Amino acid sequence: MAAENSFDVVSQYDEQELVNALDQTRREVSTRYDLKDTKTEITYDPKKSNITILTASEFTLKSVRDVLESKMVRRNLSLKILKPGEIEQASGGKVRQQIELQKGISQELAKEISKLIRDQFPKVKSQIQGDAVRVTGKSRDELQGVIALLREKDYPVPLQFENYR
């Protein structure tokens, strides 16, 4: 009997890389000529998994977000993890924006991924486990095909493939 091979489809981000990108953004905002005197605050709350940007105007908010996104890309973090909220007025004539960080695969997306795998690869089984999808099959070639299929689809969250055995 052939052994079962498997892997997990997950959506996560490296929290330390995110913290480093935020530190680099704070440093660049404090030294950049056009952003230096805006009194910009960037806070990260790991418990709520969100980022809050408080700055002088919508224009500087857009500039700070551009800096943050460029630092994230350099650190191999997908911009799909960012879910920006509404821009709201804060005290002192400032503006605030909450950016939610997405982690994990939603149930709807997990069902969609499982259905796609079942339709394209009938010999491969997929199982939803919390916020991940476990894919098992006898042939490693079919599992590689599943990974290739999921990589070419454009999902609203970044997908990683872990525990390939």
Residue 1 pLDDT exceeds 50: no
23 and 96 housed in the same domain: yes
| Whether the Cβ atoms of residue 4 and residue 139 lie closer than 8 Å to each other | no
Query: Has this prediction a pTM greater than 0.85?
Result: no
3-state secondary structure of 23: helix
- CATH number where 150 lies: 3.30.70.860
Contact (Cβ atoms closer than 8 angstroms) between residue 165 and residue 7: yes
Same-domain check for residues 90 and 114: no
The residue from 71, 101, 131 where one domain ends is 101
Phi, psi for 115 (deg, rounded to 5): -65, -40
- Residues 130 and 95 both lie in one domain: no
Average pLDDT over residues 23-50: 90
80 with 110, same domain? no
Residues 27 and 68 in one domain: yes
- Full domain range(s) for residue 119: 5-12+104-162
- 47: domain CATH number is 3.30.70.990
One domain, residues 66 and 54: yes
For the stretch 127-147, pLDDT in tens is: 888 888 999 988 888 889 999
For residues 69 and 142, membership in a common domain is answered with: no
Q: Which two tokens stand for residue 39?
A: 């009194």
Check residue 93 and give its pLDDT.
86
Residues 110 and 93 in one domain: no
pLDDT exceeds 50 at position 160 = yes
Asked if 97 and 53 touch (Cβ cutoff 8 Å), the reply is yes
What is the model's pLDDT at position 2?
57
